[in-house]
Amino acid sequence: MSHECAGMKVDSGATQLCAALQHLKDEHPKLEELMKQLQLAAAQTKETTEEQITQLLALREEVVSFMEQLIPHSEKEEGVLFPMMGKYIGTSTGPLVVMEYEHDLAKESFESFLNGTENVSEIEDPARLNLHVLEGCTTLFSHFNKEENVLFPMAENVLTDEDKEKLAEAYQISIIK
């Protein structure tokens, strides 16, 4: 399947990714599985306020654990891949701006949930807090799809072999030649 993004044709169906880009893509299924668990937990409704608080605190632990895995993944992209690609496709408009915005949007959703569950005695609307988790997950599912079908194939096409080697070094991936 062919896409056009930032004026570049990207063939997402047939593109073989270099080791570093494949590494990023391979991190998605584990994160997606965790997001599915977060969505299930956030969608549960409890009868009493006490049950809701207990559920929120359990979900809070899951969100903290998820963020501990998500942040290093997004830092690999924002700290290395995005600036490297920016040399070729720019950073003021286009796909990199969208990718960074989605990172920020998802993190803000999860942080809103965490901030709202920081003090149990101040929790007023548990259902609204759960929506932050659901929004963060929805944003990331869509985001990962864009990365896998547009951004990563685009990176494979625009980055030089030297760039790809630098990516692999930064991600501490050994390249077999």
Rounded Cα distance between 118 and 61, Å, is 11
Q: Residue 54 has what DSSP assignment? A: H
**Four-residue CA torsion sign, 19, 84, 31, 171:** positive
Amino acid identity, position 65? S
Whether 10 shows a pLDDT value over 80: the answer reads no
Q: What is the model's pTM?
A: 0.86
Instruction: Please report the pLDDT score of residue 52 as a whole number.
Output: 84
Instruction: Please report the pLDDT score of residue 174 as a whole number.
Output: 65
Are the CB atoms for 151 and 95 separated by under 8 Å?
A: yes
Whether 8 shows a pLDDT value over 50: the answer reads no
Instruction: Please report the pLDDT score of residue 71 as a whole number.
Output: 96
Rounded Cα distance between 136 and 74, Å, is 14
pLDDT tens digits for range 120-136: 778 778 788 899 999 99
* Residue of 130, 137, 134 lying closest to 45 (CA atoms): 130
Instruction: Please report the pLDDT score of residue 128 as a whole number.
Output: 86
Query: Could you give the count of Cα atoms lying within 13 Å of 59 in the half-sphere of its Cβ?
Result: 35
Are the CB atoms for 126 and 44 separated by under 8 Å?
A: no
pLDDT tens digits for range 55-86: 999 999 999 999 999 999 999 999 999 999 99
